[in-house]
Amino acid sequence: MLRTKYYYNPATCSYERVQRSISTFIIRSSLYIFFSVVLAVAMVRYYRGRFVSSRELELLQDNERLKAYYHMVQKKIEGSVALLTRLQQQDDELYRLLLNTTPLSPAERNAGMGGVNTYAHLGKDTLIAQTLSKAEQLYSKLKVQQQSYKQLRELAKHKMAKLASTPTFPPVSKKHLKRISAPFGMRTHPIHHIRKMHEGVDFSAPIHTPIYAAADGHVKWVKNDKKGYGNHLLIEHGNGFQTHYAHMHTIIVQKSNHIIRGQQIGTVGNSGDSTAPHLHYEVYSNRHRVDPIQYFVGELTAAEYEAVRKQSTHRTQALCSNF
Ligand SMILES: [Zn+2]
């Protein structure tokens, strides 16, 4: 409540009441309100600067926890990158070597990385931007590796098909494999006694000795001739390979039969122009007859293969006249 003020008037020699104008009252009231507001704002700011509210404290603790989680995620990403790097090394140094193909170049490995920073709007070098950027790089590397495995899978499939069609399985047991009576190459004809090319290998074996298919395929034809190759058949393996088995005693497969590698197809005989029981065995590679011995390398031990190879270099008498 405003106090009433008086002043001395010499003209009337008395104290008279001071009269206040409305404008003076408004100005004074406004100044009072203004300074009160300024003081209040200053006090709030001071309080906020010195003390943290429970809500702010909670948010600060959440923020610290999130930072810790982001660091954990980054560690996980770094661990995944290290694991992926080892897989890439195996891919380049082992699988691609085995499949006879070239390793991926650094440019191919880093495809899809770099370029526009997708997370620039999150602030440069912020924890979230760094984490997302590392996750993005890992994803790009994984996509490249996925493509690489896809390519290797196709190459392996092709190689397996080629291996399945390669005549690596010996047509007679190992015991008879070493009894090569006539190898592939120039030999003396048993009847005409002239030097001619023997385009197969003769494995000497008793009648009824099992004969096995050298690779997967199907029987192209079966023939029972009185002369020449006698009872003989040809198996088509694919990838340019065919195998021919002659002078057989019995044939237990028929034309068009599907054959699997190592399956028995008949027995050794003495049919056709043969001077003693044996198997005359030929391998065709892209329509040319080649030495069958070279394909046994994958099926025999080093010592076994060496023994067969040595035997195949001996100059012996052919048992058949199919050359
Ligand atoms: Zn022969």
Distance between CA atoms of residues 320 and 273, nearest Å: 6
Distance between CA atoms of residues 146 and 88, nearest Å: 10
CA distances in angstroms from 191 to 196, 206, 278, listed in the order given: 11, 22, 16
Look at residue 229 and give its three-state secondary structure.
coil
Q: Is residue 220 part of a domain?
A: yes
Query: How far does the centroid of ligand 1 lie from the alpha carbon of residue 239, in Å?
Result: 25
Distance between CA atoms of residues 218 and 164, nearest Å: 12
Count: domains in the chain: 3
Query: How far does the centroid of ligand 1 lie from the alpha carbon of residue 161, in Å?
Result: 29
One digit per residue, pLDDT tens: the chain, 323 residues?
A: 556 778 888 888 888 887 777 888 888 888 889 998 999 888 888 877 777 788 888 999 999 999 999 999 999 999 999 999 999 999 998 999 888 899 998 888 887 776 667 777 777 778 888 888 889 889 999 999 999 999 999 999 988 888 889 999 999 998 888 888 888 988 777 667 778 888 999 999 999 999 999 999 999 999 999 999 999 999 999 999 999 999 999 999 999 999 999 999 999 999 999 989 999 999 999 999 999 999 987 778 888 888 887 777 765 555 666 55
- Our CA angle for 240, 245, 246, nearest 5°, is 135
Range(s) of the domain holding residue 193: 174-311
Of the residues 131, 165, 199, the one at which a domain ends: 165
For residue 195, what is the DSSP state?
A: E
Query: How far does the centroid of ligand 1 lie from the alpha carbon of residue 323, in Å?
Result: 7
Q: 239 and 273 share a domain?
A: yes
Q: 182 and 307 share a domain?
A: yes
Q: Is residue 94 part of a domain?
A: yes
Residue 239 · residue 219 · CB < 8 Å: no
Query: How far does the centroid of ligand 1 lie from the alpha carbon of residue 214, in Å?
Result: 17
Q: Is residue 27 part of a domain?
A: yes
Q: Is residue 78 part of a domain?
A: yes
Segment (H or E) for 250: strand 241-251
CB atoms within 10 A of CB 102: 8
Q: 110 and 146 share a domain?
A: yes
Q: Is residue 317 part of a domain?
A: no
Query: How far does the centroid of ligand 1 lie from the alpha carbon of residue 77, in Å?
Result: 66
Dihedral sign for Cα atoms in the order 70, 71, 74, 75:
negative
